[in-house]
């Protein structure tokens, strides 16, 4: 482990990690227009949401991941490999070397210093779909194991976010959709409340098993 002296650390170029949260249609993606032309030239628009109409005329490079594997490969290239991980794990050195064999992915690391990820919500859906299909998501009798699926989902999403967090030199802008829901008593709740209720149900399943 190398000790980084104060002058070296202060001279490093570090990127901010930003989260934009809002209801659908309020203009979250449109904030991409606020970037200068110079910044847009080094920005990669990660269009997972398939909702780029608001910026369809904007001169910015983009990628459109359709699967969780593609999202992981992208994060591996942009964040580099994690030396603490075994060769079989995502974001390991072996994973990084394999992904870098793809010339289109390999060029991303050097070209872009700003990532605009639209959105965390869509990425979470891709991750959950992937989690449901893994062998560990099923019991010995072949039934879906809800606890295992949520566990896989949580570990995969946190690993992905951690990978992008460690892209120190890059600015990463995450977009997330905030939903409003009305329950049977006509009370309105935001998505974070619904997520907490889902967590409570998962814990209940854990205690009952």
pLDDT digits (tens, 9 = 90+) for 130-187: 999 999 999 999 999 999 999 999 999 999 999 999 888 899 999 998 877 666 666 6
The two tokens of residue 11 are 């001279």
The pLDDT assigned to 181 comes to 67
pLDDT digits (tens, 9 = 90+) for 21-30: 888 888 899 9
Q: Average of pLDDT values for 38-60?
A: 91
139-149 b/e (C-beta count within 10 Å ≥ 16 → b): eeeeeebeebb
Q: Average of pLDDT values for 86-107?
A: 94
The pLDDT assigned to 194 comes to 42
Distance CA 108, CA 104 (A): 7
The pLDDT assigned to 186 comes to 66
């Amino acid at each position: 482990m190398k000790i980084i002296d104060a002058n070296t650390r202060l001279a490093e170029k570090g990127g901010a990690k930003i989260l934009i949260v809002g209801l659908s249609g309020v203009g979250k993606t449109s904030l991409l227009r606020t970037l200068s032309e110079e910044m847009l030239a080094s920005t990669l628009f990660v269009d997972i949401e398939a909702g780029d109409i608001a910026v369809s005329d904007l001169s910015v490079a983009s990628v459109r991941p359709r699967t969780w594997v593609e999202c992981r490969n992208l994060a591996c290239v942009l964040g580099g490999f994690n030396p603490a991980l075994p060769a079989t794990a995502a974001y390991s050195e072996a994973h990084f070397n394999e992904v870098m064999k793809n010339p289109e992915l390999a060029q991303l690391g050097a070209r872009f210093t700003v990532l605009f990820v639209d959105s965390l919500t869509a990425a979470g859906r891709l991750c959950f779909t992937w989690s449901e299909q893994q062998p560990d998501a099923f019991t010995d009798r072949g039934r879906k194991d809800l606890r295992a699926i949520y566990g896989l989902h949580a570990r995969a999403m946190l690993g992905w976010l951690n990978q992008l967090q460690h892209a120190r030199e890059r600015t990463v802008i995450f977009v997330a959709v905030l939903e409003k829901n009305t329950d049977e008593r006509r009370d309105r709740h935001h998505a974070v409340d619904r997520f907490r209720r889902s967590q409570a149900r998962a814990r209940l399943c854990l205690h009952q098993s």
